[in-house]
Structure 1
Amino acid sequence: MARVFCIPGIVFLTAALVLSFLTSISLPFLTALDITRTHFGNGVLQEGSQGMIELRFGIWAPCYYDVKEERTCAKAGHGYKVSISNQEKTANVIIGSSWTRGLAIHPVATGAIFIALLLSFSQHTTMTLISSLTAFFAAFLTLIAFAVDIALYAYLKHQVNKLPDVQGKTTTSAGFWMTFVSFILLLLAGCTVCFGRRKDRSSGAASYPASSKSKKNIFSRFLKN
């Protein structure tokens, strides 16, 4: 593949891999890289047992912050659920595991990005085509992951607003936007690798007639002699 297209494609894939990998680690291991969070101005009860002013949702676990800003993260696992009650215990909402189970697609997308990055180092035209297709496939998986993030954010916001006398503000977080940036980078990488392959094919097609013409000129000289 043409070097002018090869290097940017590798850079885009590397950046997308780093962002996707960090997002996939998420809570409870990287506490700042959650998907969405809710800040409760007047506090709520989590599982009806402890006060909570902030709730963060990660790929593998939720984390709670109490009034002293001390963090407590649940045990890491796939598909967790969270129960929230108001201070008076008159209302309760549950964020079920069906809304968090889909977050596991993030590491799957990361694996696809890694494969696309490895293939992008090849100079063979067939391998570059496969690399481009793999990058687009990784972008598709990342888009699905981003859709899951949006669904979780919207549902969390809706559920929190159902609680009476609760001043909850739900926002997107770092992991949410890192997934979006990864998706854009993967689209750029796929297009860059694809354009590089087309340039190589065009260059090869252009050189063929030139070589044929030079051979014809050589033979014509012998015929004249």
Structure 2
Amino acid sequence: MPRAFHIPGVVFLFIAFVLLFLVSISLPYLTALDFTRIHFNEGAPSTGATGGSVTELRFGTWAYCFYETSGERTCSPTGNAYAATVYNNQDRDSFVTIGSSWTRGLAVHPVATGVTFIAFLLSLSSHVTFTLLASLTSFLAALITLVAFAIDIALYAYVKHQMGKLDGVRTNTNTAPAFWMTFVSFILLCLAGCTVCFGRRRDRMAGATSYPVSTKGSWRDRLRFRR
């Protein structure tokens, strides 16, 4: 495969793998990499974990973490399909729950990471068969990442809707770094798949035109050669 196409494809796949790998770790291990982040501007909401007033709530791949007014950070037990409940105040007059059905799909991110890693390994080879497999695997990883990003959007929209139901609490729900890292990974995987595919096609076209073409000269050329 021409290096002009090969090297960018490998770089795209490597960057996408690193981003998805970090997103797959996420909370509670990498506290800055969450998908949805809620800031509580007014009121004194609390969670069922400690009962203290919460100023910020973050949703990650394996857990949610909340920050109390004292600055202390507390995370839920690590695991897939976790659930979070937020109360409007210490008296717990009203509450909202983000069920496990909305966080279970976040486990798709590690799956996308694994497929991306396989595509990256295949792209290191310049063999025609491996480059074809690398292109197909890149598009497969992009499809899985798109599904993961759709799950992130659904979680963000649902959390924003639910937090608006809390009485006496004014919230600000935003997308977080892991949300956008997933989107960037999807773009990079699409670029990597196209780059590898175009590189393979150009390599085949170059091979098809590399055969020497024999031409027969005229009788005048033959006489001139004999002289």
Same fold (TM over 0.5): yes
In structure 1, the partner of 2:66 is 64
Q: What amino acid sits opposite 1:116 in the alignment?
A: A
Residues 49-198 of structure 1 aligned to structure 2 (within 5 Å): 49-87=51-89, 88-198=91-201
Identity across matched positions, percent:
59
Q: Which runs of 4+ in 1 moved over 3 A?
A: none
Shift of 1:127: 1.1
Deviations 1:174-215 (A, max 9, x none): 00000000000001100000010000010011113xx2427x
Q: What amino acid sits opposite 1:44 in the alignment?
A: P
| Alignment partners' CA distance in 2, 1:24 and 1:157 | 23
Secondary structure, counterpart of 2:106 in structure 1: helix
In structure 1, the partner of 2:46 is 45
Q: What amino acid sits opposite 2:39 in the alignment?
A: H
In structure 1, the partner of 2:28 is 28
2:11 matches 1:11: yes
Q: Normalising by structure 2, report the TM-score.
A: 0.92
| Alignment partners' CA distance in 1, 2:142 and 2:71 | 37
| Alignment partners' CA distance in 2, 1:207 and 1:94 | 66
Secondary structure, counterpart of 2:54 in structure 1: strand
| Alignment partners' CA distance in 2, 1:162 and 1:20 | 33
Q: Indicate the RMSD between aligned Cα atoms, in angstroms.
A: 1.7
Deviations 1:19-62 (A, max 9, x none): 11001100000000011110111330101722211110000000
Deviations 1:117-159 (A, max 9, x none): 0000111112101100100000000000000000000000000
Shift of 1:166: 0.7
Q: What amino acid sits opposite 1:72 in the alignment?
A: T
Q: What amino acid sits opposite 2:135 in the alignment?
A: S
Shift of 1:167: 0.8
Q: Normalising by structure 1, report the TM-score.
A: 0.93
Ranges in structure 1 where 5+ consecutive residues have no aligned partner: none
Ranges in structure 2 where 5+ consecutive residues have no aligned partner: none
Secondary structure, counterpart of 1:55 in structure 2: strand
Q: Which has the higher helix share?
A: 1
Shift of 1:99: 0.2
